[in-house]
Structure 1
Amino acid sequence: MAKPNKKGPTKTVDIFCSSCRAPLFKYRKGGKGALVKCFIERISQDYTKQPCICPKCERPFARPAIIKGTAAYKMIGGKVTFK
């Protein structure tokens, strides 16, 4: 399988927990669609203490996965928002 582009997009989005609005990541996202997965190599700033757990409300917002041969987080539907 083809790996995702290492350089990735230059546009960054801020990702927040949808229940407590705590910041989770600054992520280099490509495209206009919904946030389904985050490739770990594209995260520019990580505000979490434990992977996939919100630092404020301590609820899981994603699951670790291997997508296209690269480590990623698969987002749980409705647990995160971004702008």
Structure 2
Amino acid sequence: MAKPNKKGPTKTVQIYCSKCRALLYKYRKGGKGALVKCFIERIVEDHTKAVCICPECDVVFGREMLIRGTPAYKIIGGKVTMK
């Protein structure tokens, strides 16, 4: 399978918790679709204290897994929003 683009996209989005609106990540997202996964190498700023857990309300918003052989966070639908 193909690996994600090494250079990565230039568009940066901010990812927030849907429940408490706390900032979770600043992420270089490619494409214009919904946020399904976050490749760890594309995260610019990480504001979480534990993996895939909101620092404010302690909601689990994703799972750590390998996607196309690259470490990533698989996002649970409806748990995060992005701007």
- Give the alignment's TM-score, normalised by structure 1: 0.98
Answering whether residue 70 of structure 2 is matched by residue 70 of structure 1, we say yes
Cα displacement (A) at 1:80: 0.2
Alignment partner, residue 37 of structure 1: 37
Alignment partner, residue 80 of structure 1: 80
CA distance in 2, matches of 1:77, 1:52: 13
CA distance in 2, matches of 1:2, 1:33: 19
Alignment partner, residue 55 of structure 1: 55
SS in 1 for 2:31: coil
Cα displacement (A) at 1:26: 0.1
Alignment partner, residue 17 of structure 1: 17
SS in 1 for 2:73: strand
Cα displacement (A) at 1:7: 1.2
Cα displacement (A) at 1:2: 1.4
CA distance in 1, matches of 2:57, 2:76: 15
The CA RMSD measured in Å over matched residues stands at 0.4
Moved over 2 A (4+): none
Aligned length: 83
